[in-house]
Amino acid sequence: MKSYLKKGDIILCIALLSLSILGIILPVLSAKDGTSLTVSINGELYTKMPLSTDTILDIIQDDGVISNTLVITNGQASISHATCFNQLCVAQVPISSTNETIVCLPNKVILEISNGSDTFIDSISE
């Protein structure tokens, strides 16, 4: 019986598989722990707080309604309660590394981890 895979095909498959695995592992290994959390509502800064202090914060919209409850524990931020119907933001895992985000689209709330400085340096510039 004749084989349809040639030596070059196998090398190509191994190379592509290796690149795929590297693309998954590299961002995880290069992630840096953040030091502060920025909370934005509708694209405007709501508050900025350190991750080092355990906190529970009710996020209040302009109409006075509490839309989300933010919890910071052990240097990780998460949303424990939300008034949105799908609860996707509540189901997200806690975030702690720089540039990680949790987004609640119905309430227009964005949580983003940063390193504490206001300057933006992407991974290529570092």
Domains of the chain, earliest start first: 36-114 (2.60.320.10)
SS3 content of the chain, % helix, strand, coil (to 5): 20, 35, 40
What number of helices (H) and strands (E) belong to the chain?
Answer: 2, 7
Q: Is 5 exposed, middle or buried, given 0-12, 13-18 or 19+ CB atoms closer than 10 A? A: exposed
Report percent pLDDT > 70 for the chain. Answer: 88
Which tokens belong to 29?
A: 């290994």
Tens of pLDDT along 82-122? 999 999 999 999 999 888 999 999 999 999 998 866 554 45
Q: For residue 58, what are the β-bridge partners?
A: 69
Tens of pLDDT along 24-76? 888 777 767 888 999 999 999 999 999 999 999 999 988 888 889 999 999 99
Which tokens belong to 60?
A: 């209040």
Q: Which helix (H) or strand (E) holds 113?
A: strand 109-114
